[in-house]
Amino acid sequence: MNNVATARAPGSIPLERPKQIVARADALLYLHVARPDLDKTTKFLTDFGLLVAARQGDTVHFRGVGENPVIYSVTRADRPALLGVGLSVPDRESLLALAKESGATIAPFTGPGGGEMVRLRDPDGICVEVVYGQAKAAPLPSRPPIPYNAPAQTVRVNDTQRPPLAPPEVTKLGHAVLTSPNFPRKVQWYMRMLGFMPSDVMCLPDATHAGAFMRLDRGATPSDHHTLFLVFGASADIDHAAFEVIDLDAVEMGQQVLKAARYRHAWGVGRHLLGSQIFDYWRDPWGLKHEHYADGDVFDASQPPGLSQAGSRGPVSVGPGFARRFRRRAAHSWPDCIAPARRDAWGGAAAPVAGRCTQHARAQPTLAALSLSSSGCVNLLAWTGTTLVR
């Protein structure tokens, strides 16, 4: 009997969606983190372009210029941590279905805008708050996108370009990147429970799936290329959060403002290969990466997923090569089942001691293939480039 596994070509295994879907989320609402110093956090976030929306005890809520009343919440705590991600559903029936499937109860949402919510836990224990009935806020005044003259198209005559020297106007929380040592189970959970669908799937040379850019299933209504990027990592955590700004000038102005304030730059400005957005990454005082982006891809539900394999082109189509400093991990806690071997230069945990639980032990072959050390998604991003299927 031949026990040798049949070799599979990279990109030959599709990421199948579950046949039964509990609910379909229709928007990414907010990120919720813990930080030891609310004043320092508020200074960074307002320099980044967010606006204080409300204060509730030890929590500060932030908004952008769009209609969401909260896109970022920070609660004072002794240690920095990811506390949760907020999504919305379009009707109460979806909330009831999630409550029934998970065994959770429907509770009032006490943040800005009110409404009702169900608090779920994904397979890694990450809190996912699903909200229905939140009241929208009135959009705030903001400048229109700057019109660009092109050789064959002149749209601006007797007019100049003078964007203000100020933090860029953030329109919304666009996406979050979550690392997981249990990627296959995690990606299936988000597809089944919340209706996410893959836009681009990243695979190893043996065709194993190692990451997926996931968008909301909104039918014929276009959705951002990715609302979540789920990827194999040494721990369950957040790698970065991305915020949409008006245009390229806003991305560049953000860099100018944050550089002048002497924050830590992570990577950019460039244009990503998968998702196509123009990007620039900056770290908060605890090392978490925050991305300004503009001009990303949008797909409706008819667009099939792409499959991409490791390649030499890298994660950008235009811009600087992959920055080594981008690989530094935020100062969030490792799960109890993994002991950090040391601390890295940014204060984050570095190479983990694996094997203390079966979940993480099972992930080690894939982690080794990705050459992971201090961060989950970044090494995978660093060597992605060959699109096999679109």
Residue 148 lies in a domain: no
Contacts of 388 (CB under 8 A, 6+ apart): 10, 11, 203, 306, 307, 308, 309
Where do runs of H (alpha helix) occur along the chain? 38-48, 92-102, 183-194, 248-260, 358-369, 378-382
How many angstroms from the chain centroid is the CA of residue 356? 28
Would the pLDDT of 68 be above 70?
A: yes
Would the pLDDT of 53 be above 90?
A: yes
Q: What percent of the chain has pLDDT over 70?
A: 77
Would the pLDDT of 13 be above 90?
A: no
Q: How many domains does the chain have?
A: 1
Q: What is d(CA 47, CA 50) in angstroms, rounded to the nearest whole number? A: 7
Note whether 235 and 182 are within 8 A (CB): no
Contacts of 349 (CB under 8 A, 6+ apart): 235, 329, 331, 333, 334, 340, 342, 343, 374
Residue 48 lies in a domain: yes
Residue 157 lies in a domain: no
Which token pair is 135? 């009241």
The pTM (predicted TM-score) of the whole model is 0.85
Domain that holds residue 385: 27-136+169-389
Q: Give, in order, the Cα–Cα distances in Å from 258 to each of 147, 170, 230, 262, 281.
A: 25, 14, 28, 6, 10
pLDDT on residue 54: 97
**Quick one: pLDDT band at residue 190, thresholds 50, 70, 90?**
very high
Q: What is d(CA 84, CA 373) in angstroms, rounded to the nearest whole number? A: 24
Would the pLDDT of 57 be above 50?
A: yes
**Least confident among 194-208, 214-228, 244-258, 359-373:** 359-373
Residue 145 lies in a domain: no
Note whether 299 and 219 are within 8 A (CB): no
Residue 152 lies in a domain: no
pLDDT digits (tens, 9 = 90+) for 83-94: 999 999 999 999
Question: What is the rounded average pLDDT of the residues 33-55?
Answer: 98
Asked if the bond preceding 74 is cis, omega within 30° of 0, the reply is: no
Question: What is the rounded average pLDDT of the residues 157-185?
Answer: 94
Residue 79 lies in a domain: yes
pLDDT digits (tens, 9 = 90+) for 318-332: 666 655 555 555 555
φ, ψ at 170 (rounded to 5°): -85, 130
Which token pair is 242? 């991305």
Taking the alpha carbons of 348, 350, 355, 358 in that order, is the dihedral positive or negative? positive
φ, ψ at 255 (rounded to 5°): -65, -40
Residue 36 lies in a domain: yes
Residue 149 lies in a domain: no
pLDDT on residue 235: 87
Question: What is the rounded average pLDDT of the residues 17-24?
Answer: 96
CATH of the domain at 116: 3.10.180.10
